[in-house]
């Protein structure tokens, strides 16, 4: 592959407010290769959804990209005029949102919503658009698409609706899909189906997926690489196995420790769930130095004084001074 | 669907019967009709004869049944003031009121929706702010004052438009229309603005609020993420979703426009039913009042029925039982 499909460099998202500017995403850098699934994980308010919205150019005002660049297949797409960005949305970057119950317009059939999206991006006849809509519904695993295409969203179950949402994101065969909490509103068995669907898309079509979630389990099952975000910054980024089994950043380690493990080693006596002391700082009170330093069990003087950049540690990179002099 | 219509029709019939009862009891409240018709000097024999002739010796419910039976055939008796059949009097006044109400309603609806959408989409422009301020005036000024002000400016000071009456009318069968002559159209302008202004500002504010609400929803965000054009997002997806409450209000307000045309018709000496009603009240012309009451109730009932059917047309979620049957 020649270079990453999506490259985000030093992205900074700000919200100017009356009481000063809030920095919601601060110097985030990440890259996704074609066919790769990058998980972005973090607590609520860590800036992961805003990173996704910034990439598709749908930050809600007054939020804005204050610095950094976003490149899609090498081309800069941040700061494009609205109309050009609109052509990229749906055509080259698809999006899936959290709640399939509210992502679909209740007053239009799924067929109408699919064909309008296809017609907005591809130069085809309405009849061809409908044929493609049927193929898409079949592709995402909706049984009997011919019978279902003229149904309204409320006539589908939650899982089926999320499949429709995925089909809508796929209308114009985008090379990149940004999936913001695609499984959060679904029950576990449906989650597994949607995850399998995303994996199949990445494998068969070479679609790159940015999977935003707070669920480490979903990341573990789905992603190839993972970026851990904390207080608007990327704390650690690397192959998913590495990050899960050998977390470098103390925050990631704490995050892994807080996941209950069921089954593995059942019967053996195990310790209590580890909990990270304190809470993620609010955007108007991010401490100097490393944002995690007040909660970090391994902090030292430098942590409160200087902000760490991502430092390569083996195949992963962590923004932590522990690795300043090599692992 | 059919069951729904039948149920609604049964309810409508019940409402009409109740209104009929109230209208009927008007006759009894104003005193003894026999005394009223024959005067103080009539002999007891004359009274008995007239009582028998009018069927006033019958029990209450028999008289009521007779009233309803005649009312269904459009027969409301003889006007006490003009000594003509009431139905004929109402019928010749009906076109004037309906044409005025129609123009006022169309004006209110079209201008209200256009201004509502505009003020929602261009929330911060000075023109939106000006429209909102003006709409406050429209909501708070009483109708008769607006009418008098309009007459003062456009009829008295500028002399552009007539201050009273319908202008020339053309008879189409029993229907006399003011739409076909220049003076008829000119005469419509001031009264229809007066009559529709309140509804227009109401619809404008309603559409604006609903539109702002809808624009915040996930499916609008998702529609943007699919790369649909602004026009499709605003006027296809958002506007249709704002229409449900607008239909409700408009339906109810259309009835109100017809019923409360009384004031406008009085101010402009518009030869419609409202003016007829006011004159009847002054002369205690009970048959006319009863007929007017029943007719207005009929309008309300029919409009509400149409509104309910329109819901079905706009909102597929209400068609759930029919769709379930099609599975």
**Predicted confidence (pLDDT) at residue A198 exceeds the cutoff of 60:** yes
Does the model's ipTM exceed the 0.95 cut?
Answer: no
Q: What are phi and psi of A85, to 5 degrees?
A: -65, -35
**Predicted confidence (pLDDT) at residue B231 exceeds the cutoff of 70:** yes
> Which residues on chain A are in Cβ contact (under 8 Å) with B320?
154-155
The H or E element spanning position A32 is strand A20-32
The encoded tokens of residue B293 equal: 């009451």
- Asked if the Cβ–Cβ distance from B222 to A168 is below 8 Å, we say yes
Residue A249, CA distances (Å) to A237, A242, A317, B203 in order: 10, 12, 9, 57
**H helical segments located in chain A:** 48-55, 82-88, 100-103, 110-121, 126-139, 145-148, 158-170, 188-205, 216-222, 240-245, 250-257, 301-305
What residue segments make up the domains of chain A, in order of their start?
100-171
Give me the mean pLDDT over the A131-160 stretch: 90
Alpha carbon of B73: minimum distance to chain A alpha carbons (Å): 42
Residues A242 and A315 sit within 8 Å (Cβ to Cβ): yes
* Residue entry with tokens 């004084």: A305
What pLDDT is attached to residue B40? 73
Residues A176 and A136 sit within 8 Å (Cβ to Cβ): no
Distance CA A232, CA B309 (A): 51
Digit-coded pLDDT (tens) for A258-301: 776 665 544 445 566 667 777 888 888 888 888 888 888 888 88
CB-based contact (8 Å) between B144 and chain A? no
Distance CA A79, CA B127 (A): 28
Residue ranges of chain A whose CB lies within 8 Å of a chain B CB:
56, 58, 82, 86-91, 94-95, 97-99, 102-109, 116-117, 120-121, 151-152, 154-155, 165, 168-169, 171-172
**Own/partner pairs, B215-220, CB within 8 angstroms, 24+ separation:** B215/B120, B217/A102, B217/B241, B218/A97, B218/A98, B218/A99, B218/A102, B218/A103, B219/A102, B219/A103, B219/A104, B219/A105, B219/A106, B220/A105
The encoded tokens of residue A51 equal: 């990173």
Q: What are phi and psi of B174, to 5 degrees?
A: -85, -10
**CA A166 to chain CA centroid, nearest Å:** 14
What is the percent of chain A with per-residue pLDDT over 90, rounded to a whole number?
Answer: 19
Tell me how many residue pairs between chain A and chain B have CB atoms under 8 A apart: 86
Bond from prior residue into A62 cis (ω within 30 degrees of 0): yes
Beta bridge mates, A93: A89, A176
Residue among B228, B236, B317 minimizing CB distance to A106: B317
Instruction: Locate the chain B residue with the closest alpha carbon to A98.
Output: B218
**Predicted confidence (pLDDT) at residue A1 exceeds the cutoff of 80:** no
- Asked if the Cβ–Cβ distance from A107 to B236 is below 8 Å, we say no
Digit-coded pLDDT (tens) for B247-279: 878 887 888 888 878 888 888 888 888 888 888
Distance CA A117, CA B227 (A): 7
Distance CA B194, CA B128 (A): 22
What is the percent of chain A with per-residue pLDDT over 70, rounded to a whole number?
Answer: 94
- Asked if the Cβ–Cβ distance from B225 to A152 is below 8 Å, we say no
Digit-coded pLDDT (tens) for B14-67: 999 898 888 888 777 766 667 766 777 778 888 888 777 777 777 878 888 888
CB-based contact (8 Å) between B225 and chain A? yes
What pLDDT is attached to residue B320? 56
Beta bridge mates, A39: A211, A226
Residue among A58, A107, A152 minimizing CB distance to B240: A107
The β-bridge relationship of strands A316-318 and A233-239 is antiparallel
Mutate to test the interface with A, among B214, B217, B222, B235 (most CBs of A within 10 A): B222
Residue among B218, B227, B241 minimizing CB distance to A91: B227
Is A280 in a helix, a strand, or coil?
coil
Give me the mean pLDDT over the B147-158 stretch: 87
More confident residue, A174 or B178: A174
A102 φ/ψ sector (left φ>0, alpha ψ -120 to 50, else beta): alpha
Please report which confidence band the pLDDT of residue B325 belongs to, taking 50, 70 and 90 as the band edges: very low
Residues A202 and A34 sit within 8 Å (Cβ to Cβ): no
> Which residues on chain A are in Cβ contact (under 8 Å) with B222?
95, 97, 103-104, 165, 168
Residues A86 and B229 sit within 8 Å (Cβ to Cβ): yes
What pLDDT is attached to residue A2? 59
Residue among B219, B320, B323 minimizing CB distance to A102: B219
Q: What is the mean pLDDT of chain A?
A: 86
Instruction: Locate the chain A residue with the closest alpha carbon to B232.
Output: A116
Digit-coded pLDDT (tens) for A6-62: 999 899 998 888 888 888 888 888 999 998 999 999 888 888 888 998 998 888 888
- Asked if the Cβ–Cβ distance from A97 to B317 is below 8 Å, we say no
What pLDDT is attached to residue B157? 87
What pLDDT is attached to residue A131? 92
Question: Which of B222-232 are b and which e, b meaning 16 or more Cβ less than 10 Å from the residue's Cβ?
Answer: bbbbbbbbeeb
Alpha carbon of B225: minimum distance to chain A alpha carbons (Å): 6
- Low-confidence winner among A112-121, B76-85, B280-289, B312-321 (lowest mean pLDDT): B312-321
What pLDDT is attached to residue B145? 87
Residue B289, CA distances (Å) to A97, B277, B320, B327 in order: 60, 6, 43, 52
Q: HSE of A139 in the Cβ direction (CA atoms, 13 Å)?
A: 20
Residues B208 and B119 sit within 8 Å (Cβ to Cβ): yes
- Asked if the Cβ–Cβ distance from B219 to A155 is below 8 Å, we say no
The encoded tokens of residue B171 equal: 């008879």
Instruction: Locate the chain A residue with the closest alpha carbon to B238.
Output: A105
Please report which confidence band the pLDDT of residue A112 belongs to, taking 50, 70 and 90 as the band edges: very high
The domain made up of B86-326 is a member of CATH 1.10.3720.10: yes
Digit-coded pLDDT (tens) for A68-101: 889 988 888 888 888 888 889 988 999 988 777 7
Digit-coded pLDDT (tens) for A235-244: 899 998 888 8
Distance CA A115, CA A128 (A): 9
What pLDDT is attached to residue B322? 47
Instruction: Locate the chain A residue with the closest alpha carbon to B239.
Output: A107
Please report which confidence band the pLDDT of residue B115 belongs to, taking 50, 70 and 90 as the band edges: very high
Ranked by mean pLDDT, the top range of A16-20, A42-46, A141-145, A190-194 is A141-145
Residue among B220, B228, B314 minimizing CB distance to A116: B228
């Amino acid at each position: 592959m020649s270079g990453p499909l999506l490259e985000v460099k030093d992205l900074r998202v700000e919200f100017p407010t009356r009481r000063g500017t809030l920095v919601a995403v601060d110097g985030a850098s990440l890259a996704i290769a074609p066919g790769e699934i990058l998980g972005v994980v973090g607590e609520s308010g860590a800036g992961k959804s805003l990173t996704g919205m910034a990439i598709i150019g749908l930050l809600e005002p007054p939020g804005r990209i204050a610095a950094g660049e976003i490149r899609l297949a090498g081309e800069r797409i941040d700061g494009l005029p609205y109309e050009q960005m609109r052509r990229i949305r749906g055509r080259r970057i698809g999006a899936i949102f959290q709640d399939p119950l509210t992502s679909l317009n209740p007053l239009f059939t799924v067929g109408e919503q699919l064909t309008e999206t296809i017609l907005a991006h591809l130069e085809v006849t309405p009849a061809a658009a409908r044929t493609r809509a049927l193929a898409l519904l079949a592709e995402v695993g909706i049984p009997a698409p011919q019978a279902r295409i003229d149904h309204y969203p409320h006539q589908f179950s939650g899982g089926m609706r999320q499949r429709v949402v995925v089909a809508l994101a796929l209308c114009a065969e985008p090379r990149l899909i940004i999936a913001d909490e695609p499984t959060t509103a679904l029950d576990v068995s449906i989650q597994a189906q949607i995850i399998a669907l995303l994996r199949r898309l990445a494998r068969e079509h070479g679609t790159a997926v940015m999977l935003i979630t707070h669920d480490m389990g979903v990341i573990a099952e789905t992603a190839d690489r993972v970026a851990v975000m904390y207080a608007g910054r990327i704390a650690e980024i690397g192959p998913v196995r590495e990050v899960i089994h050998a977390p470098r950043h103390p925050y990631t380690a704490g995050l892994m420790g807080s996941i209950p493990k069921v089954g593995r080693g059942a019967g053996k006596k195990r310790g209590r769930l580890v909990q990270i002391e304190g809470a993620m700082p609010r955007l108007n009170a991010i401490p100097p130095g490393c944002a995690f330093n007040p909660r970090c069990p391994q902090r030292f003087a430098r942590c409160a004084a200087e902000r760490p950049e991502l430092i390569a540690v083996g195949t992963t990179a962590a923004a932590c001074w522990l690795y300043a002099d090599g692992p | 669907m059919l069951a729904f219509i039948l149920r609604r029709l049964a309810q409508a019939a019940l409402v009409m019967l109740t209104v009929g009862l109230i209208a009927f009891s008007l006759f009894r409240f104003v005193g003894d009709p026999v005394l009223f018709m024959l005067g103080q000097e009539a002999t007891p024999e004359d009274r008995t004869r007239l009582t028998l002739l009018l069927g006033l010796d019958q029990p209450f419910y028999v008289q009521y049944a007779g009233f309803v039976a005649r009312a269904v055939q459009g027969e409301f008796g003889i006007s006490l003031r003009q000594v003509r059949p009431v139905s004929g009097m109402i019928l010749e006044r009906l076109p004037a009121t309906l044409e005025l109400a129609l123009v006022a309603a169309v004006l209110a609806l079209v201008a209200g929706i256009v201004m509502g959408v505009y003020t929602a989409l261009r929330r911060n422009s000075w023109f939106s702010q000006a429209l909102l301020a003006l709409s406050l005036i429209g909501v708070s000024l009483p109708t008769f004052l607006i009418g008098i002000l309009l007459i003062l400016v456009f009829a008295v000071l500028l002399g552009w438009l007539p201050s009273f009456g319908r202008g020339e009318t053309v008879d189409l069968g029993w229907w006399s229309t003011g739409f076909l002559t220049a003076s008829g159209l000119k005469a419509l302008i001031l009264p229809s603005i007066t009559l529709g202004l309140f509804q227009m500002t109401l619809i404008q504010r309603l559409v604006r609020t609903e539109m702002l609400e809808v624009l915040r929803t996930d499916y609008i965000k998702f529609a943007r993420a699919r790369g649909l054009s602004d026009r499709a997002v605003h006027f296809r997806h958002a506007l249709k979703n704002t229409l449900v409450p607008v239909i409700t209000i408009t339906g109810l307000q259309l009835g109100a426009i017809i019923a409360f045309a009384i004031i406008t018709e009085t101010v402009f000496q518009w030869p419609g039913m409202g003016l007829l009603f006011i004159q009847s009240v002054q002369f205690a012309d009970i048959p006319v009042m009863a007929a007017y009451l029943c007719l207005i109730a009929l309008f309300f009932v029919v409009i509400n029925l149409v509104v309910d059917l329109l819901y079905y047309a706009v909102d597929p979620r209400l068609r759930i039982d029919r769709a379930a049957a099609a599975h």
